[in-house]
Amino acid sequence: MRVDRRNLFVTLRMLHAAGIEANARLLGDRIQVLLRNPAPGAAPLEATFEGTQIAHAADWLTACVVHYYPKSELAKVWTVIFEAVAALPR
């Protein structure tokens, strides 16, 4: 089975549809990814990646959403996947 790498733009679209504020922008040859911190008054979560690391940027964004927005649909899906994989025999 082949699993495609995560797409940053699809991830951003999914988050926007769910009402989660996230953004990405180019800074020269780097990508800056931002996620609204759900804590009132807290600074946004942000990370910067090399332009070639776009899939890594999408992975970071997904991990942040799962951690900071545990009630989101994305977090629920990842919880189901994690629990299913954990139940597999080793």
Mean pLDDT confidence for 12-18: 95
Q: What is the largest CA-CA distance in the chain?
A: 46
Own/partner pairs for 62-66, CB < 8 Å, 24+ apart? Answer: 62/6, 62/11, 64/35, 65/15, 65/20, 65/22, 65/35
pLDDT of residue 84: 87
Mean pLDDT confidence for 49-72: 94
Mean pLDDT confidence for 24-53: 96
pLDDT of residue 4: 62
Domain ranges of the chain: 8-87
Q: What is the mean pLDDT of the chain?
A: 91
Q: Which pTM was predicted?
A: 0.85
Alpha carbons within 13 angstroms on the beta-carbon side of residue 46 total 11
* DSSP tag of 90: -
Mean pLDDT confidence for 10-39: 96
